[in-house]
Homo-oligomer: A and B are copies of this chain.
Amino acid sequence: MIVKSVAEIPVQQVDHPEAKKVSIRWLIGENSPAPGFWMRLFEVQPGGYTPRHQHDWEHEVYVLEGSGEVFSDTGPRPVAAGSFVLVMPGEAHQFRNTGKTPMKFLCMIPKSGK
């Protein structure tokens, strides 16, 4: 059993040409013995966004703090603390902070993703 706090996990800036003001903490990732899926914590600063992209694996997201929108094929959809999102494999998606405070969300992915 692994029991840790977010504060113990180093913050990494997301170094991607289409990301802006985004950091990631890998809470449960490839350095863990997790059998099937991984847990990351993203923090997007006001005005920031994750890359708009798609891939062959799903995301399961839970918004912890702040507010913003998630881009979907049917347009932007608002999210805030207490929202959760299932992005299916192949679906285009992007998370944007449209608020005035940091937007934090958990994002779980299968080990087959990255």
Contacts and interface: CB of A to CB of B under 8 A. Distances in A.
A4 interface: yes
Copies of this chain present:
2
Interface of A: 1-7, 27-28, 32-37, 39, 58, 60, 62, 64, 70, 72-73, 77, 79-80, 82-89, 91, 93, 106, 108, 110
A86 B33 contact: yes
Contact of A79 (B3, B73, B83, B88): B3
B89 A27 contact: no
Contacts of A37: 36-37, 60, 108, 110
Contact of A39 (B64, B72, B79, B84): B84
27 contacts: A1-B77, A2-B86, A3-B79, A3-B83, A3-B84, A3-B85, A5-B80, A5-B84, A6-B82, A6-B84, A27-B84, A28-B60, A28-B84, A33-B86, A33-B88, A34-B58, A35-B58, A35-B89, A36-B110, A37-B60, A37-B110, A39-B84, A39-B108, A60-B108, A62-B62, A106-B106, A108-B108
